[in-house]
Amino acid sequence: MCGLLGLVCPTENDATAARASVAEAMRCQRHRGPDETATLQRDEVVFGFNRLSIIDVERSHQPLTWGPPESPERYTIIFNGEIYNYLELRAELVEQFGARFGTDGDTESIVAAYHYLGPSAVGRLRGMFAFLIWDSERQVVFGGRDPFGIKPLYYITGPHGVAFSSEKKSLLHLAPSLGLQPALNQSALQYYLTLQYVPEPASLHHGIRRIESGTSFTIEPGSQPVTERYFTPTFAPRPTKGPADSNRLYNEIADVMRDSVAKHMRADVTVGSFLSGGIDSTAIAALAKQHNPQLITFTTGFERQGYSEVDVAAESAAAIGVKHVVRTVSADEMMEHLPSVVWYLDDPVADPALVPLWFIAREARQHVKVVLSGEGSDELFGGYTIYREPLSLAPFEKVPGTLRKVMGRVSAKIPEGVRGKDLLRRGALSLEERYYGNARIFRDDQLRRVLRTFDPVLSHRDITARAYRESESWDPVTRMQYVDMFTWLRGDILVKADKVTMANSLELRVPFLDPEVFRVASRIPLEEKITRETTKHALRQALRDIVPAHVLNRRKLGFPVPLRHWLRDEMYAWSRDVVQRSDTDKLIDKNAVLAMMEEHRNGSIDHSRRIWALVVFMLWHGIFVEGRINPEIPEPHYPVRV
């Protein structure tokens, strides 16, 4: 787990001239790899790397040079992530091709696989990754990003080269030397306010984009990247034919999860686990305990009643038999640290859960260097409550289209906040129209109120259309899962998981997001995912002998934040000040925002998530556009508690 920066220039002279700028830009992501920093030029390419040493700590330094015996320095690689099947892959390459390795790490397994297997090697990697390989003989860079988008990879193209990086802020630092000055992307802003994140492959700066999840690419000096999708998460449900068939499915799920957690525990440093009150993190912790009897788990919560899973997590930790660490977060701490969190994010993410995650990551880093977590379970196994919506809206599907349009018009006339308004509105819409992915913050009518740059042509369907088109023959729930894998999962869940933990030089691993786990999950039939009583039915049955009984059927909470209350009370003056100080008048109608804050404060309408999205954006704008806000970012330093 590290931070990389690779620059591919038109000429070797361009690369030589840019090397110092690359080294300076690496400082923007020092937190991703505080153990080692190095910069290396090879021909037209400059590679920079910040290392967080996890596997083969004393060796496997990067940038790493490797080659076959006849050309031992042919390739240079920089790699962020972990390859969990690296031992098996290395053994296979030795047996089939006589491959030779100079380290005991996972980095060499990638470059050796590429040498012997070609670009298809990326599909053999079981892990989380973003990497660049320079082939000095063919004069080409080959790179790739993991199937689910766990690890980020941004890029920018200019007249003096193409740069790739784990952090967008490094590219912003490097942009002038490439002949660029990236400006605010107003279309991306509108998508952000709709979805609470900036959807891939865009970013909130024009000209800076992301290599998409499940994609590899090649680039020659002086040219543009040529991308190819190597992984598409295809669902192929297989109906179960009775109890015996169902039990075989449950056993297969349990077995693949045991295998995934075992491989995710591979490390030469201590591995801990996040633990909330839900089934996903509890299962991961219980399985991890089998490999590390001294496992430490971490949770966070709030003092307000109903907004904490601390007690349930503590009960789970006791049942599993692990040491447990709790971090309670206050409103004052949220306000104090949010500007720093936004700086680490690169682009705004309006998920309030990322702030408590920030604090528990800080706490965990005092004890361990790696943590496991339960991200991805809901998308793969059907865990979100909204996935049950097709059941509740089934009666609307029988209503003729003309009458449903009338229902929509009736809904529009019902005052905001009246019970039943949203149900009627959503029942009048098709799945493609109503389901944006797991989050929706501003509707178009609400956006028109606050966004001066509102473009009626832009729609969430611009983001979801491809996923709906590719999943046209599937059932509604599976289509929702598929949409979320390309939107919510990689836009919100994995962004905050990577950015907030890496801000604290902590590696986070997600055993549910494993190709072998997906292979099994993709075959689960609808009736084994969603019932009228529960979600993730098959997963719950598979884990019944692994997790404590008190969490087996507990509804999902995650890290709930008392945002609605805080924005009325403790955070009201602070958030109002953020809005008033922000120099975003050309983009946002601040009077409309202040009016929303008053409506929220007097309790007439719950605007908490919309207010939060605007506040986070305004802080981002103050940092990355105005330069008015300068969070104090310390040098990473981690005295580990024994």
pLDDT score of 641:
44
pLDDT score of 324:
95
475-497: per-residue pLDDT in tens?
Answer: 999 999 999 999 999 999 999 99
24-33: per-residue pLDDT in tens?
Answer: 999 999 999 9
**554 touches 277 (CB < 8 A):** yes
Please determine, looking at this structure, whether the domain spanning 2-229 carries the CATH number 3.60.20.10: yes
Residue 435 DSSP label? -
Q: What value does the CA radius of gyration of the chain take, rounded to a whole number of Å? A: 24
**195 touches 440 (CB < 8 A):** yes
409-457: per-residue pLDDT in tens?
Answer: 777 778 877 777 777 878 778 899 899 988 889 999 999 999 999 999 9
Tracing tokens 């992501």 back to the chain, one arrives at: 29
Tracing tokens 């289509």 back to the chain, one arrives at: 479
Lowest mean pLDDT among 120-129, 282-291, 442-451, 629-638: 629-638
Q: Tell me how far apart the alpha carbons of residues 528 and 541 are, in angstroms, rounded to a whole number.
A: 9
Q: What's the whole-model pTM score? A: 0.94
- Mutual angle of helices 354-364 and 494-502, in 10-degree steps: 40
Q: Please identify every residue annotated as catalytic.
A: 2
Q: How many CA atoms lie within 13 A of 475 on its CB side?
A: 21
The candidate with the shortest Cα–Cα distance to 571, out of 531, 536, 600, 542, is: 600
Q: Tell me how far apart the alpha carbons of residues 440 and 436 are, in angstroms, rounded to a whole number.
A: 7
φ/ψ of 380, rounded to 5, equals -80, -35
pLDDT score of 308:
66
- 2-229 matches 243-383+497-552 in fold: no
351-401: per-residue pLDDT in tens?
Answer: 999 988 999 999 999 999 999 999 999 999 999 999 998 888 877 776 776
Q: What SS3 string covers 265-325?
A: CCCCCCEEEECCCCHHHHHHHHHHHCCCCCCEEEEEECCCCCCECHHHHHHHHHHHCCEEE
Write down the domain spans for the chain.
2-229, 243-383+497-552
**97 touches 116 (CB < 8 A):** yes
231-253: per-residue pLDDT in tens?
Answer: 999 999 999 989 999 999 999 99
pLDDT (average), residues 491-520: 97
According to CATH, the superfamily of the domain at 243-383+497-552 is HUPs (3.40.50.620)
Q: Is the predicted pLDDT of residue 642 greater than 60, yes or no?
A: no
